[in-house]
Chain A
């Protein structure tokens, strides 16, 4: 079992690349094969597959293999995890700025 920090490292690492973000956006509409995922990119299938592997390791994509066809589907649960992490920080900084404002404005 990997720690939450490790999971988030993989998650944000996977999302730190624009090609992979586009793939996530594409998969958010519907599952796709590797070939379909490759369509918008000038990229070889192995290169696309490499990106998919990074997304898989981050838990963002689940791949099912049916003969020669690799189908990819988005794991929304993981995306929510990323969102929750961002929200925690947003809350932290919002609260911190409120406290700063209260402090300097009270004097």
Chain B
């Protein structure tokens, strides 16, 4: 729960100049932010760690419903993609409940299929070798 209205929080989350002023946990500074705020629009956020390394978070927006709901894909290098959903619900008296869902929606089903495929091949090879 944060003592601000959804509109302000949504703006802070989606406006590069504002985002740069607060983003990241302690020790991480947001040193770059580009945001194309529309479904299908891309964003990327540069996170500078205490040791000077920069980690880029990037993705595309899937849902943009100002000022209550945001959903976007999330990549931090590599192929792995997860999804972040943020909701801002007004609680009255100018405060807002912020809920974050970070789902790891990687390609597990697809990969499992491949795994099964390969496992089957390898089993066959094992049987063949053992015969």
Chain A residues proximal to chain B, CB less than 8 Å: 5, 9, 12-13, 16, 50, 53-54, 57, 89, 91-105
Contact = CB atoms under 8 A, between A and B. Distances in A.
Given A95-B28, A99-B25, 19 more contacts: A5-B78, A9-B80, A12-B104, A12-B106, A16-B108, A16-B109, A50-B116, A50-B119, A91-B25, A94-B25, A95-B25, A95-B26, A97-B2, A99-B22, A100-B12, A101-B3, A104-B2, A104-B3, A105-B3
Contacts of B25: 91-92, 94-96, 98-99
Contacts of B12: 100, 103-104
A89 B115 contact: no
B13 to A, nearest CB: 8
A100 to B, nearest CB: 5
A104 B116 CA distance: 50
A99 B24 contact: yes
Nearest to A12: B104
Interface string B81-93: 0000000000000
B12 to A, nearest CB: 6
Contacts of B116: 50
A50 B12 CA distance: 48
A9 B25 CA distance: 25
A5 B104 CA distance: 12
Contacts of A92: 25
